[in-house]
Amino acid sequence: MPHAAENLIDLARYPIHEHGTSRDALLARVRALLTEDGCAVIKGFLTPAGIAALTAEADCVSAHGHRSFNRTNVYFTADDPSLPADHPKRQFFDRSNSFIPADNFARSGPLRTVHDFPAFDPFIRDCLQEEKFFRYADPLADVIVNMAEEGNGFPWHFDTNNFTVTIALQNAEGGGEFEYAPMLRRGGENFDEVAAVLNGTSDKVKVLKLEPGDLQLFRGRYSLHRVAPLKGARRRYVAIISYVEEPGMVATPERCKQLYGRVLPIHYERAGMRADAYID
């Protein structure tokens, strides 16, 4: 049965489809938070029916999630023996997580119905105030669900995408806090501050506890972040919708293989198409 976006998004509380004072006030609040530290949360963006529908869809395709258990640095790159042993590029951490790739979510399904709602992209673009704003062109990664189980977490890392939009769908029984160090990489790699986060001496780390239905806007390419390990039998589901600064961008083959377990021809064809010179 087709889904209607107005049943999934709480448009009465957040009239993103109607230009006026309510939308303007919401934009002002979100922009202020993004300016302050690159992160903004809109509580209860989904309706209870929306939460249920998107969670049920994630359950239905969960068997297609790619589970990976390895060691990685914050840049998802190989070791560089030419650097000192304590350099951030040489600090590797256990990573255990699962991603359900984008090609498992039908166009008529609830997740893509939210994403394809005509007012959704313009609202996100207006929040970010970015003129160069495009949907991620990666067929495995434009709209995905992160699936994590007890013991899983995601160590400190920077995102490949400049702008990441997430919707919390289901929390684990415990753990799973979102921790981030705002805007460390704006203007440069800032290896000293990255090292301070990794060794636990930074005073810049903030902690968020997201609830099902919350919409989060995050500049994860610039802010180092992680997800704390989970506790309990219930899975944690988070939908991830990605945007970038240039059209046609996709993940690197190495990153794609790590996160989704497979690589498509488009990842090799478009390797190196980035708008910046950051490591990953």
pLDDT tens across 3-33, in order? 899 999 999 999 999 999 999 999 999 999 9
Q: Which of 77, 38, 3 is nearest to 221 (CA)?
A: 38
Strand pairing category for 206-208 and 39-42: unpaired
- Predicted confidence at residue 221, as pLDDT, reads 87
**Dist CA 50 CA 14 (whole Å):** 14
Confidence of residue 118 (pLDDT cuts 50, 70, 90): very high
Structure tokens at 137: 């062109």
Q: For 60-74, write each residue's pLDDT tens digit.
A: 999 999 988 878 899
- pLDDT at position 22 is 97
pLDDT per position as a tens digit, 208-256: 989 999 999 998 888 999 998 899 999 999 999 988 888 988 888 888 8
Radius of gyration of the chain measured on its C-alpha atoms: 18
Residue 18 in tokens: 């109607």
Measure CA 118 to chain center: 21
pLDDT at 277 over 80: no
Q: Output b/e per residue, 229-251; b: 16+ Cβ within 10 A.
A: bbeeeebbbbbbbbbbbeeebbb
Q: Which residues lie below 8 Å from residue 69, measured CB to CB, with a gap of 6+?
A: 94, 95, 96
Angle formed by the axes of helices 21-37 and 120-128, nearest 10°: 50
Residue 2: per-residue pLDDT:
64
User: What's the rounded mean pLDDT across residues 201-214?
Assistant: 95
- Which carries the bigger pLDDT value, residue 214 or residue 36? 214
User: What is the DSSP code (8-state) at residue 96?
Assistant: E
CATH fold group of domain 5-269: Jelly Rolls (2.60.120)
- What average pLDDT score do residues 164-187 get? 92
Which range is least confidently modeled, 121-135, 176-190, 263-277? 263-277
pLDDT, tens only, 41-94 = 999 999 999 999 999 999 999 999 998 887 889 998 889 999 999 999 999 998
Identify the burial level of 81 via C-beta atoms within 10 angstroms of its C-beta, where 0-12 means exposed, 13-18 middle and 19 or more buried: exposed
pTM listed for this prediction? 0.87
* Average pLDDT over every residue of 102-118: 96
Q: With 60 as the cut, is the pLDDT of residue 164 above it?
A: yes
Contact 210, 25 (CB under 8 A): no
Phi-psi region of 142 (alpha: psi -120 to 50; beta: other; left: phi over 0): alpha
**Which of 145, 148, 158 lies closest to 69, judged by CA?**
148
Select from 155, 204, 163, 202 the least CA-distant residue to 37. 204
